[in-house]
Amino acid sequence: MLRRVADGVLVHQSELLQNNTVVVQGRHGVLLIDPGITDGEMADLANDLRELGQTVVAGFATHPDWDHALWHAEFGDAPRYGTARCADFLRDVLADADWKARVAEGLPPELADEIPLDLFGRITGLPAGTTHIPWDGPKIRLLEHEGHAQGHAALVIEERGVLVAGDMLSDILIPFPDFGAGDPIGDYLAGLRVLESVADEVDAIVPGHGSVGDDVQARIDLDRAYVHALRDGRDPEDPRIGPAATFGRDWLPAVYEGQLRQLAGSGGTTG
C-alpha cells in the first residue's frame, strides 16, 4: 500500500525490516528510491503504480547494502542511479563469479527464497560532484557522505520538503557505523552534520527503515547521542534498544554489544 508523505511523494513499506521505498512523481513517470524487499512486495508496488497510471522512469539506490539495491522486472528497464562510489562497490560485488551466493548469505533466512537477486546491484554511478538526480521531476538534491556505507547518499526533494535519509535517522534502528572505514565514529558524526545542514529545509523525513516523521532534528540528536555514547563506552540509554523498544528487542541489544567490540578492535574513536 502506498502512503502519501507530501504532494507527489509516496512511501511503500516492506513488512519484515520496515524498509521504505520512496516514490516520487515526475512529469512522465515516477522515480523509485530503494525499492524492496521481497518479490511479492515489489510486484504489489508495480501493480499499485499501474493502477495510478504511473510508469517507472528512473531508480536510485541510496547505498549498496543488499536491501537498497534491489529491482524487479515489472519496474522495467529504467536507468538506476547511485553515487559513483555506490556503483563502484556494487560493480566489484557483481564481478565475483559467486556473487549471488555471497549476497544470499546475508539475507534474512526466513525471506531468502522470496528476495529476487537477478537484477540486484545494476547501478549507474553519477559523476562525482553531481548535485541533483538527472530526471524530469521535482529537483532532488544529493547529499553524499560517509558514516553508514560507502557511497551513502541522502536525498532532499527540494520542492516537496522531504528528506530521504537512507540508513540513518531511523526511529526503530540504532546507528550502524561502517566499521570497515578508517574512522567510523568520525565519519558518522560528519554524516549527521551533513543531514543537520538541511534540517530546516524539510518538513518530513523518510528513513530507510521505520516511520516517516517530522522530527528531523530530534532524530539527529538521538543518533548523535548514541554515537557519542558508543565512542565513550557509555550506556547509550537509547529507547530503540531499551525495555520499551517495539522493534528488534531480541537482537538489537546484541548488535550494540557487537559494535562496542568492533570499535575496540578498530581503534576508531575520533569525532
> pLDDT tier at 264 (50, 70, 90 boundaries)?
confident
Determine the average pLDDT of the residues in 242-256.
Answer: 91
CA distances from 80 to 30, 59, 99, 249 (A): 12, 4, 20, 35
Q: Which residues pair with 132 in a beta bridge?
A: 141
Give the N- to C-terminal CA distance of the chain in Å, as an integer: 41
Cis peptide before 220 (omega within 30 of 0): no
pLDDT score at 267: 58
**Residue 43 to residue 11: CA distance in whole angstroms:** 15
**Residue 7 to residue 35: CA distance in whole angstroms:** 20
pLDDT score at 191: 97
151 contacts 61 by C-beta, under 8 angstroms: no
pLDDT score at 244: 87
Cell numbers 553508514 correspond to 148
> pLDDT tier at 1 (50, 70, 90 boundaries)?
confident
pLDDT score at 169: 98
pTM of the shown model: 0.95
Determine the average pLDDT of the residues in 142-167.
Answer: 96
Cell numbers 546475508 correspond to 106
Determine the average pLDDT of the residues in 187-196.
Answer: 98
Mean predicted lDDT score pLDDT of the chain = 95
pLDDT score at 130: 96
Domains of the chain from N-terminus onward: 1-128 (3.60.15.10), 138-271 (no CATH)
**Residue 24 to residue 15: CA distance in whole angstroms:** 21
47-91 residue pLDDT tens: 999 999 999 999 999 999 999 999 999 999 999 999 999 999 999
Chain centroid to Cα 260, Å, comes to 23
**Residue 51 to residue 142: CA distance in whole angstroms:** 30
